[in-house]
Structure 1
């Protein structure tokens, strides 16, 4: 009975190490350039070195870590150029998706979900829950892209998600006033979509994304 359970336990430990480090990187608790000790992480979360190494390999494959011969695992910084590229692609994908939502008459399908997210963000903003606000932020934009039923747009948006979350955390922790500003932008985006005004959506989105430029 012990043999079959070993891979499951190892896999669970690897997932735990992966989730722990990934969350710290995205939240900015581990800034770019930070070296991460395998031994220290093993003691911190109570796992052996093998699952930690496996987690590092996964994070390196996602471009969140670089594995260096002498330093070991180092958090990969996001350069200003990379951040600009991410924002450019994010705006293009979402603007195109919103246009399709309006053109295909599906705005009413997603509006209730967007309104619920706005209410949740308002509560998170009022209570200073930055983590929850940022999580719902990603869900809001993802819901609009998903409503387009463009599978390629959804795939690319998912590819960009971790990088976008790093930018959001950096901006909103550096400038807490951005929570309320972002919420107002989201309200304007939802209103434009509900009104079937794709041009207005694109205009608001462009200004919304511009607030992230220079965050790094």
Structure 2
């Protein structure tokens, strides 16, 4: 990719994000996101699941099944003009950007009426370049037997039903179709609800990720956890 082509792609992405922000009423959170790219520091855990390890899918509070996302699902789970709060609209906007890029394999958990109540993207090692470009190097390069889960989202109307842990557990198992044995996902260290959901889905802390951004330049460092560090990072003890 030449410099001009790369710059054109970057400008196009930012222009698209700006249009979505105006159209969806998320200018403020979009601006905050841009400012974080000027100066910010964050710490996340990379959690890993071994698909060959024994695991029982946790039960949600309502019956759900998992299937690939189809076009008709988008208006039900990612509609940017739905009557929801700004925070949820911002979360939807980010997933729409990922959907528009057309990478990964989006799956939805649906209830008994086939209403999508959870969405998450699965990426295989064959998409390392696309993942690196879209997420600005936030994730480690996947080995041939690894997959990545990202973009988890539960609409507010479906929250509190333990859908995330059940849906994530089932979506992770789809990675075996890609030839993967291990599945990774990353969660901010302060997001205790998501960390609990990931652990219930069979994921265990495995990697420390530190992200530092200064004047638009981001450095991401990954460090494998020692056994003692894994136990320290676990949210669900015992």
TM-score, length of structure 2 as denominator length: 0.26
Structure (1 or 2) with the greater helix fraction? 1
The structure whose residues are more often strand, as a share, is 2
Q: Which protein has the larger Cα radius of gyration, Structure 1 or Structure 2?
A: 1
Q: With a CA cutoff of 8 Å and minimum separation of 6, indicate the structure with the bigger relative contact order.
A: 2
